[in-house]
Each structure stands twice: as C-alpha cells, then as structure tokens.
Amino acid sequence: MRLDEKPDFAIGHFVPRIMRTKQKSRHTMKIKRIEHIAIAVKSMAQFREIFEAKIGLNLEYEEYLPQYNTRLAMYPVGQTYIELLESDVKNTETARWIAEHGEGLFHICLEVEDIEEALDELKRKGVRLIDEQPRIGHANSRIAFIDPKSTGNVVIELVELTNAS
C-alpha cells in the first residue's frame, strides 16, 4: 500500500501499529509530594497575624532549630504546608536570603522516599548540590538542598520524613 492510499478494512488491509517498548526509566528518585513552600520572614509575629487572622490558616506547630538559629512555623494547606522561617542571627541562610532578596518565597521542598538514593541520582546526573549528605531538618527529618545554579535559580530542598514526622 502506498502512503497516499487509504486502507480498505473490508478486505483485510490494516495500518500497522507502532509497538512501544517499555524503556527502563532514567528516574528512580521517588518524589511523593511538595512537602512545603518556605517563606523567609523578618518578623514571625507579623506573618502569623497575616496567616492566622487574615487568611484563616491554623498553625500546626512551631519549632526552633538551634543548629540553624532559626524558628519555623508550619501551616497545613491540603497535603502540603506553608513554612515560615525567621532567624535571630544575621549570618544564617535565612537572614542572608532576606538581606539579598528581601522577605518572601525562599524555597520549595519536595518529599522523597529515600534521600540518599535521591542525592546519588542527582549527582550521577551532574546536578550540583549544596548538601552532599543529608542533615537534620524540621521535625527531625532528613534534608538536603540542591544548588540553585542547577535548578534555574529556584532553591529546592529535599526531605525524607521520619515516621514520627
């Protein structure tokens, strides 16, 4: 049959189907969800007023992370959270971000099933990392940051939650 001919199904002609073969995925990192969206703030009290009294969100918990000199507040929204971050020291990641960019969106956090596996995969793909190994984060989770130079200047955090988180 020529390309310009139409198939005649009445006499048994058919158009062959292209068979798709399953290819092994290059992606093994299991991303479960957006765990939180972080906002860097100068005044936790001011933003709590906005989020609670004006927007109507309910605070789930507040936590101080002494290793980062940072206080955080977590607001559940559906299956994710909005995280407010405030630092009480000038030379922390949060304070430096605010000094350079002002208050506002800081990072997006993706929950992964296995953080070591995720970091290994990213390294194999040539993605630059801020954290080569996981460190302790909110609610005793394990976190690592991807270098924003590898993600179009978007700060991305990976988190593996503990069973208690």
Q: Tell me, yes or no, whether 86 lies in a domain.
A: yes
Residue-level pLDDT at 61: 95
Average pLDDT over residues 13-19: 49
For 146, other C-beta atoms within 10 Å of its C-beta total 22
Which range marks the domain in which residue 37 is found?
A: 31-160
Backbone phi and psi for residue 6, each to the nearest 5 degrees, phi listed first: -95, 145
Cα(149)–Cα(143) distance, rounded to whole angstroms? 18
Average pLDDT over residues 58-85: 96
Q: Tell me, yes or no, whether 36 lies in a domain.
A: yes
pTM equals 0.80
Q: Are 42 and 98 in contact (CB under 8 A)?
A: yes
CATH number of the domain where residue 104 is located: 3.10.180.10
Q: Which of 19-33, 100-114, 147-161 has the lowest mean pLDDT?
A: 19-33
- 8 CB contacts (<8 Å, ≥6 apart)? none
Structural domains of the chain, count: 1
Q: Tell me, yes or no, whether 39 lies in a domain.
A: yes
Q: Which of 132, 142, 134, 135 is nearest to 162 (CA)?
A: 142
* DSSP-based three-state secondary structure for 109: strand
Residue-level pLDDT at 88: 85
Q: pLDDT, tens digit, for every residue of 94-149? A: 999 999 999 999 999 999 999 999 999 999 999 999 999 999 999 999 999 999 99
For the chain, give the mean pLDDT: 87
- 131 CB contacts (<8 Å, ≥6 apart)? 119, 143, 144, 145
Q: Tell me, yes or no, whether 155 lies in a domain.
A: yes
